Amino acid sequence: MCATCGCDTDGNVTMHEPGHHHDHNDHHSHDHQKKVVAVEKDVLNENNLLAERNRGYFEAKNILALNLVSSPGSGKTSLLERTLKDMKGELEFAVIEGDQQTTNDADRIHATGTKVVQINTGKGCHLDAHMVLHAVQGMKPKNDSVLFIENVGNLVCPAMFDLGEKERVVIISVTEGDDKPLKYPDMFYSSTLCIINKTDLLPYVPFDIEKVKANAKKVNHKLEIIELSCTNGEGLQIWYDWLKSKVLAPETV
């Protein structure tokens, strides 16, 4: 068999690509040659380009885009609900919700009176920059606003996909293991802020908060950490101050 195109001396042809036609009447006059193509291209190049496009859009409109990532059930949506209610009138918000199925989370956000778009990924385990691009085109977030992008609950896959966000916020709750940053290092490595949620439950669970902080810092020494509880409100002010500090002052002419 010819190693170049797979054609056989007895005339049987192995097709490599639809539309790839050889003239097999003459087996011994192959004029195509092997060629090395240096590619050197990041596999996620396409996503990264779209992410940069989103980032440029956000910067031009002075929108603070935050990518919220966590395992399912850490309290991402509850934190958003509480934040949207508490900071109403102080900052302008918009939300993109990512889930495999249902509009449950978007309904909860909608109930707070905030502009929201739900992305259902179907079987997809993460949001990508392309999905966010389309969501943003549809919702048209206002200038000088904060855009929360709540990713699919998953501590693995979303780590690889830049959405064009300014900051990536990983949320962990005290009902999870304090070794989670070591078990899922990529997410903690790629995040800029870590929120430890549900601190009101600390007396009831064997969760060592100092240990989780040390573990998170082992993975990413630059990671900022905020401890809070959406239920009793403890620590929320620190989170709100963090948000306000990140919203760039609108340019004055």
Q: Which is closer to other proteins, CB of 8 or CB of 42?
A: 42
DSSP state of 248: P
Q: What gap in Å lies between CA 128 and CA 176, rounded to an integer?
A: 26
Q: Which is closer to other proteins, CB of 5 or CB of 91?
A: 5
Q: What gap in Å lies between CA 129 and CA 137, rounded to an integer?
A: 12
Q: Which is closer to other proteins, CB of 126 or CB of 168?
A: 126
Binding positions for other proteins, rule: CB under 8 A: 3-6, 14, 16-18, 20, 32-47, 124-126, 128, 156-157, 159-161, 181-182, 185-186, 189, 215, 217-219, 221
- Shortest spacing between CB 179 and other proteins, in angstroms: 10
Structure tokens given for 218: 């082992």
- Shortest spacing between CB 208 and other proteins, in angstroms: 16
Q: Are 207 and 181 in contact (CB under 8 A)?
A: no
- Shortest spacing between CB 21 and other proteins, in angstroms: 9
Q: Are 165 and 149 in contact (CB under 8 A)?
A: yes
Structure tokens given for 245: 């500090």
Q: Which is closer to other proteins, CB of 46 or CB of 234?
A: 46
Q: Which is closer to other proteins, CB of 167 or CB of 186?
A: 186
> Pick from 68, 86, 93: which is nearest to 144 by CA?
93
- Shortest spacing between CB 25 and other proteins, in angstroms: 17
- Shortest spacing between CB 14 and other proteins, in angstroms: 7
Q: Which is closer to other proteins, CB of 46 or CB of 90?
A: 46
Q: What are phi and psi of 195, to 5 degrees?
A: -105, 125
Q: What is the Cα 64 distance to its own chain's centre?
A: 15
Q: Are 29 and 7 in contact (CB under 8 A)?
A: no
- Shortest spacing between CB 42 and other proteins, in angstroms: 5
Task: Considering only the C-alpha atoms of the chain, give the largest distance between any 2 of them, rounded to a whole number of Å.
Answer: 81
